[in-house]
Amino acid sequence: MTFDYDLFVIGGGSGGVRAARVAAATGAKVALAEEFRMGGTCVIRGCVPKKLMVFASGYAEMCDDAQAYGWDVTCGAFDWPKFRTQLHKELDRLEGIYRKLLSNSDVEIFDARASLKDAHTVTLSTGQDITAKHILIATGGRPVLPDIPGAELGITSNDIFLLDELPKSILIVGGGYIASEFAGILNGLGVKVTQFYRGAQILRGFDDEARGLVAEGMRDKGVNLHLGTNIVEMRAPTDQDLTGEGMSAPIEQGKPTSVSSGKPVKGIWVKATNGNEAIYDQVMFATGRAPNTEDMGLGDIGVETGRRGQIIVDDYSQTTVPSIYAIGDVTDRVQLTPVAIREAMAFVQTVFKGNPTKNDYEMIPSAVFTQPELGTIGMTEEEARDIEPVEIYCTSFKPMNHAFAGRSDRVMMKLVVSRETRKVMGCHIVADHAGEMIQLVGIAVKMGASKEDFDRTVAVHPTMAEELVTMKDPVRSA
Ligand code: FAD
């Protein structure tokens, strides 16, 4: 049987673009369909615009620090429209690079939505049917609104980069990394931020001490964080709400409309599980993401999906239909760009290079770009001590740059060490540039370095990271 292509990739995000390019480099005839913008979540509405907003939000503190260091500077107001214009110019540039990379690799691009007709055929939204020997689904995921009355009045991370103006106040709902990062970003940009999380502490799954220090740091910087709290109900304000004590929102042109007078009002009335009622300019939900598997014909052709809609794959990213593979967020394994890229590389090794390759999910370093930032690799103290006896080396201190500037920010460096093998099982850093640090220390931890290997490494002085190699005694054994 002959096919139009050797490989048809659905989705032009981190995983799909990499798989298409690398497969094409083996001489395979490759096509890719993207329904929105090339680059996917990471480039268009995830990692990249978020990190640029993290940078933007840091300048107010830097201005204060500059004064403390003797500079005669004053920071004016943040100009959101100016930043947003520049941001989108940069995203357009990056999208252009992705398109060029694909076309230079001879990957044919279809700007269309694709669904599956059978094990070797995709149907495009243009009506065209295309056949391929292998199909790779890399359609990622999307934010979902929770099942709360009035939730449709809220926005998600997708909308935040497109706002016409920055809200004066925002309620961010969620305790994961996206919610917590945007709480820090918007707080830094001068928005009055309240964050609700229904759990006992933000950043579930990360090391408890690290989570605690991040939450404390966020509060110190001005985020009004409420734990064990959720929204009961939200709606457009009534005129009575607007004149009620402690609740005032300017009546301006905008959405939604007052439920009592029908006049346009700005703001959303929210009732919380703690009984508080308040009006916020915006409510942003970062309470969950769902895989993009709807209306793709997956079930009809036998591609199995899980309870949350994620595509079920084996260790080689193969679905229950042998000619169809899936990688990245749509499989709900580890939802990070570098993981989607590695799954793409392993897929190409397996299918196009005759070298069956499983992806390695052990010891994945990652960063949370909260303020303060968190870098992490390996097991948390809580996970490790459930497995074997461990020693905990941990230090928390005020770094010299912050101490000089009179800031209260503290840094934490923590190593979780196996008592038996002496291997470093986990490393957790809360500090400026923790993401950069964890990338480097992650190499040693991934290689299986022991605590004594760390100790043998000469400190780089004066740095924050030198503490990682100078911690003498464990703070506790567990
Ligand atoms: P995606 O990048 O989501 O790409 C999927 C593409 O498929 C999309 O372009 C979509 O339009 C397209 N598509 C969907 N359905 C169809 C269809 N039927 N036909 C055609 N095209 C279709 N990760 C990190 O590593 N570091 C970070 O700092 C980070 N920050 C993030 C911040 C936010 C706000 C978000 C939302 C995510 C962040 N991530 C981060 C996660 C990261 O963006 C994802 O893990 C990564 O983009 C997954 O890549 P993917 O290829 O699986 O899917």
Tens digits of residue pLDDT in 346-384:
999 999 999 999 999 999 999 999 999 999 999 999 999
Band the pLDDT of 249: cuts 50, 70, 90: very low
Cα–Cα distance for residue pair 56/435, rounded to 1 Å = 17
The answer to whether 242 and 251 are in contact (CB under 8 A) is yes
Percent of the chain's residues with pLDDT above 90: 93
Order across the sheet with 268-272: list the strands: 231-235, 268-272, 277-280
CA-wise closest residue to 396 among 204, 209, 181? 209
Compute the average pLDDT of residues 304-308. 97
Cα–Cα distance for residue pair 66/64, rounded to 1 Å = 5
Nearest residue (CA) to ligand 1, atom 8: 40
> What are 30's strand-pairing partners?
7
Ligand 1 contact via 54 beta carbon (within 6 Å): no
CA-wise closest residue to 366 among 431, 436, 464, 417? 436
Q: With 70 as the cut, is the pLDDT of residue 243 above it? A: no
Nearest residue (CA) to ligand 1, atom 19: 113
Q: How many Å lie between the centroid of ligand 1 and the Cα of residue 42?
A: 5
Tens digits of residue pLDDT in 168-188:
999 999 999 999 999 999 999
Q: How many Å lie between the centroid of ligand 1 and the Cα of residue 329?
A: 7
Query: 200 to each of 228, 231, 271, 273, 369, how far by Cα in Å?
Result: 6, 15, 20, 14, 21
- Domains of the chain, start order: 5-142+289-352 (3.50.50.60), 151-285 (3.50.50.60), 366-477 (3.30.390.30)
- Which amino acid is present at 22? V
146-160, 193-207, 232-246: the lowest-pLDDT one: 232-246
In 153-272 the beta strands, taken as DSSP E runs, fall at 169-173, 192-197, 224-227, 231-235, 268-272
- State the pLDDT at residue 262: 67
End-to-end CA distance of the chain: 61
- State the pLDDT at residue 252: 41
Nearest atom, ligand 1, residue 14 CA: 51
Q: With 70 as the cut, is the pLDDT of residue 134 above it? A: yes
Q: How many Å lie between the centroid of ligand 1 and the Cα of residue 277?
A: 35
Q: How many Å lie between the centroid of ligand 1 and the Cα of residue 303?
A: 21
Active-site residue, from 226, 428, 433, 461: 461
- Which amino acid is present at 344? A
Ligand 1 contact via 15 beta carbon (within 6 Å): yes
Bigger pLDDT: 254 vs 301: 301
Mutate to test the pocket of ligand 1, among 22, 36, 43, 47 (most ligand atoms within 8 A of CB): 47
Q: With 60 as the cut, is the pLDDT of residue 213 above it? A: yes
Cα–Cα distance for residue pair 73/367, rounded to 1 Å = 31
Ligand 1 contact via 13 beta carbon (within 6 Å): yes
Q: How many Å lie between the centroid of ligand 1 and the Cα of residue 341?
A: 11
Q: With 60 as the cut, is the pLDDT of residue 198 above it? A: yes
Burial 157-191, CB ≥16 within 10 A → b, else e:
beebbeeeebbebbbbbbbbbbbbbbbbbbbbbeb
Ligand 1 contact via 293 beta carbon (within 6 Å): no
- Show Cβ contacts of residue 203 under 8 Å, excluding neighbours closer than 6 positions: 175, 176, 177, 180, 210, 211, 214, 215, 368, 370, 374
Band the pLDDT of 241: cuts 50, 70, 90: confident
Ligand 1 contact via 16 beta carbon (within 6 Å): yes
- State the pLDDT at residue 253: 38
Band the pLDDT of 1: cuts 50, 70, 90: confident
Q: How many Å lie between the centroid of ligand 1 and the Cα of residue 48?
A: 11
CA-wise closest residue to 51 among 392, 451, 446, 368? 368
Nearest residue (CA) to ligand 1, atom 33: 46
Instruction: Identify whether 134 is a catalytic site residue.
Output: no
The answer to whether 161 and 189 are in contact (CB under 8 A) is no
Ligand 1 contact via 286 beta carbon (within 6 Å): no
Q: How many Å lie between the centroid of ligand 1 and the Cα of residue 17?
A: 11
Residue labelled with tokens 């000619």:
323
Report the chain's mean pLDDT, rounded to a whole number. 95
Mutate to test the pocket of ligand 1, among 9, 22, 41 (most ligand atoms within 8 A of CB): 41
For residue 136, what are its two tokens?
């790779």
Tens digits of residue pLDDT in 388-434:
999 999 999 999 999 999 999 999 999 999 999 999 999 999 999 99
Q: With 90 as the cut, is the pLDDT of residue 27 above it? A: yes
- State the pLDDT at residue 266: 75
Q: Which helix (H) or strand (E) holds 240?
A: helix 239-243
